[in-house]
């Protein structure tokens, strides 16, 4: 797992670091290492929040086109589901996850960012889904997650034109959550997730599951899903501590249990 993707853990933050210069192209090996990294931070109770980071120069400029250029329909039919599920593993991390984006987040790189809960973007960064210019469409969640995030009309604009957006437009349409100078991207991402490090981990997990799962359901099913998750939290130590602290007018001491 340490060839192109590295997991660093410090002060409760697990950083999934892409290291495949010069552009962090997401070839098959990187995809599978991302899956392994997602499994690692999910299973580590010492990790309370996650940052996905490509380094100071570039987040990820897309899939490895050289690797895909000679693939047939049969080849890609066998690979496509694994490609999608590898980035889906990032989306399923049951902890707060933020993408720290410098340089470019294009194609598969943009899809990786979309799999995170939030996106902190450098002022000079560019984001987009340029696959249409190669005669294909996004294949790792781009058509689905982008439409849910910015709406179908804007998603069709970006996907069907293949154009890139700058940080200001990304912020305006909801593709970015914060825009900061390039040299502050990682620190701003850490600042975003820092409040969650001492929060009620099981409730944070349930909140993420409720929102993400509910988006795939009709309203009635989503409300039933929410009720189930809500009731389950009454079995946690943090629920008891949180309510006791409220009654006693003190700050809660959550343990994540």
Q: What is the mean pLDDT of the chain?
A: 95
152-161 and 142-150 helices, crossing angle to 10°:
140
Say how many CA atoms lie within 13 Å of 164 toward its Cβ.
Answer: 14
- Report the distance separating Cα 160 and Cα 133, nearest Å: 9
Q: Please, are residues 26 and 62 in contact by the beta-carbon 8 Å criterion?
A: yes
Is 24 in contact with 61 (CB distance < 8 Å)?
Answer: yes
CATH 1.10.10.10 fits 201-247, yes or no: no
pLDDT at residue 17 greater than cutoff 60: yes
Mean pLDDT of 118-128: 98
Respond yes or no: is residue 105 known to be catalytic. Answer: no
State the catalytic residue, choosing from 55, 91, 111, 141.
111
Catalytic residue among 55, 62, 108, 242: 108
- The position carrying tokens 């991390």 is 93
Burial class (CB in 10 A: 0-12, 13-18, 19+), 96: buried
Q: One of 25, 63, 113, 122 is an active-site residue; which one?
A: 63
- The answer to whether residues 116 and 52 touch, using CB atoms and an 8 Å cutoff, is yes
**How many residues would you count in the chain?**
257
Confidence of residue 208 (pLDDT cuts 50, 70, 90): very high
> Domains of the chain: which residue ranges?
5-196, 201-247
pTM: 0.93
Residue 97 sits at φ, ψ, to 5 deg, of -130, 130
Rounded average pLDDT over 201-212:
96
Cis peptide before 246 (omega within 30 of 0): no
> What is the CATH code of the structural domain delimited by 5-196?
3.90.226.10
Catalytic hit among 103, 107, 131, 226: 131
Contact by Cβ (8 Å): 141, 88: yes
- Does residue 129 sit in helix, strand or coil? coil
* 54 catalytic residue (yes or no): no
Please write the tens of the pLDDT for every residue from 28-49. Answer: 999 999 999 999 999 999 999 9
- Residue 195's contacts (CB-CB under 8 Å, 6 or more residues apart) are none
Residue 221 scores a pLDDT above 70? yes
Tokens 């970015």 correspond to 176
Is 108 annotated as catalytic?
yes
């Amino acid at each position: 797992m340490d060839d192109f993707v590295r997991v660093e853990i410090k002060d409760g933050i697990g950083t999934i670091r892409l290291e495949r210069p010069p552009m962090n192209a997401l070839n098959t090996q990187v995809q599978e290492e991302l899956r392994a990294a997602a499994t690692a931070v999910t299973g580590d109770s010492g990790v309370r929040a996650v940052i996905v980071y490509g380094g100071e120069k570039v987040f990820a400029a897309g899939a490895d086109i050289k690797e895909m250029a000679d693939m047939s329909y049969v080849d890609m039919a066998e690979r496509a589901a694994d490609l999608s599920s590898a980035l889906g593993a990032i989306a399923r991390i049951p902890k707060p996850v933020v993408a720290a984006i410098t340089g470019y987040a294009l194609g598969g790189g943009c899809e990786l960012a979309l799999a995170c809960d939030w996106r902190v973007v450098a002022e000079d960064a560019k984001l987009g889904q340029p696959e249409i210019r190669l005669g294909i469409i996004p294949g790792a969640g781009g058509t689905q997650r982008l439409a849910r995030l910015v709406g179908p009309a804007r998603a069709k604009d970006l996907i069907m034109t293949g154009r890139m957006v700058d940080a200001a437009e990304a912020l305006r349409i909801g593709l970015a959550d914060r825009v900061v100078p390039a040299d502050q991207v990682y620190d701003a991402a850490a600042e975003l997730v820092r409040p969650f490090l001492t929060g009620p981990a099981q409730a944070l997990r349930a909140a993420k599951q409720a929102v993400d799962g509910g988006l795939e359901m009709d309203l009635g099913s989503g409300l039933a899903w929410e009720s189930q998750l809500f009731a389950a939290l009454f079995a946690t130590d943090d629920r008891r501590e949180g309510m006791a602290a409220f009654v006693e007018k003190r700050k809660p001491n959550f343990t994540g249990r």
